[in-house]
């Protein structure tokens, strides 16, 4: 299923456009010829979106997703045909320290956006909601990978906020409201431009390059799945394209996506530091990880891609080795530009 030609005449709204996934998706759709508008609450110049000057090719509106009047105005004036709702408080740790902010942003921001779309009676034919694997919570390893019909039983504030947002989105997709919504739950996403250094891979890269000291997030035994950002942008485009063409076939559905290649956190760190030829640093980090706390971590999380392959012809294209190398290369350039030579 190819999507590039179909985006040339499309008018797209992306919430959270200056975030990691928003920036990668914007880059993809701009290259495909779409007209892109993004909503951002804070004009954060420390983002891939601005670092790669994508703002020169998109329209940006500043405002709060919890402000109904603002959203109604943007949607009415924009005459969009597609909406990607990617704005969120995405840091699991912030969910513990600022639960109110997490719930306010992820839950209220979602229902305010969807209610504004409903009230305006807009021309939007596809709404893609970004959720997370954390919404499922903890399941025994023998039941992995997660399946779309697994009950949601999140354990921590971030996952709970996204699970609540999912239920809200599904209520707006029902026959009463009839909004053309698809919910996506993906595994951990990584790649160029992920400037959230609380995330494992960008933090490990900046530490391996000598710009910070690595802080262990556990003993390294937790199992995770990682999917490359460009592959995610491709899948988002495929889902929105199919939804807009056949809303009754996809409305209200949930789609998981991962690579079905579970890895321990320890193995990821080992591979990354070996790529950087920092074996001595690796020994120090692994020693520190042995005694690190595992509080707030789910033991095993990974996903396959059988449902999105069936419905959208999608498979992950980028191997973990290639994706990690491309990510390291991007960060080497970024950190050298923004922070100077290695320390």
Known catalytic residues? 158
φ and ψ at residue 221, rounded to 5 degrees: -90, -10
Q: Which two tokens stand for residue 90?
A: 């995405």
List Cβ neighbours of 73 (8 Å cut-off, separation of 6 or more).
none
| Cα torsion angle, 220, 196, 160, 215, sign | positive
In the chain, count of helices (H) and strands (E)?
Answer: 14, 11
In the numeric block, the tokens 């029902």 are attached to 174
Taking the C-alpha atoms of residue 14 and residue 25, their distance in angstroms, rounded to an integer, is 9
Q: Are 36 and 15 in contact (CB under 8 A)?
A: no
Burial 284-305 (b: 16+ CB within 10 A, else e): ebbeebeeeeeeebbebbbbbb
Which residue(s) pair with 271 in the sheet?
Answer: none
């Amino acid at each position: 299923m190819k999507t590039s030609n179909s985006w040339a005449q499309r008018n797209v709204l992306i919430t959270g456009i200056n975030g990691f996934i928003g920036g990668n998706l914007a880059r993809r759709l701009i290259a495909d010829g779409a007209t892109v508008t993004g909503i951002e609450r804070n004009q954060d110049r420390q983002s891939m979106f601005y670092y790669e000057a994508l703002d020169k090719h998109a329209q940006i509106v500043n405002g709060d997703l919890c402000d109904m009047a603002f959203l109604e105005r943007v949607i009415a004036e924009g005459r969009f045909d597609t909406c990607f709702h990617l704005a969120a408080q995405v840091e699991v740790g912030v969910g513990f320290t600022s639960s109110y902010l997490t719930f306010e942003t992820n839950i209220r921001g979602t229902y305010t956006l969807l209610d504004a779309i409903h009230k305006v009676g807009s021309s939007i034919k596809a709404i893609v909601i970004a959720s997370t694997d954390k919404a499922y919570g903890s399941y025994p390893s023998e039941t992995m990978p997660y399946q779309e019909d697994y009950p949601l039983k999140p354990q921590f504030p971030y996952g709970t906020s996204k699970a609540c947002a999912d239920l809200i989105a599904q209520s707006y997709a029902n026959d009463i409201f009839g909004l053309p919504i698809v919910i996506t739950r993906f595994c951990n996403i990584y790649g160029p431009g992920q400037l959230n250094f609380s995330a494992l891979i960008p933090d490990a890269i900046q530490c391996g390059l000598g710009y910070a000291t690595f802080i262990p997030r556990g003993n390294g035994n937790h199992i995770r799945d990682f999917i490359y950002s460009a592959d995610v942008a491709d899948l988002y485009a495929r889902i929105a394209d199919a939804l807009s063409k056949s809303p009754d076939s996809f409305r209200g559905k949930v789609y998981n996506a991962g690579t079905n290649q579970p890895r321990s956190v320890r193995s990821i760190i080992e591979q990354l530091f070996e790529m950087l030829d920092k074996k001595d640093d690796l020994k120090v980090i692994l020693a520190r990880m042995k005694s690190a706390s595992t509080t707030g971590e789910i033991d095993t999380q990974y996903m396959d891609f059988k449902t999105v392959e069936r419905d959208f012809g999608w498979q992950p294209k980028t191997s973990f080795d290639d994706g990690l190398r491309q990510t390291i290369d991007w960060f080497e350039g970024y950190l050298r530009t923004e922070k100077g030579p290695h320390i």
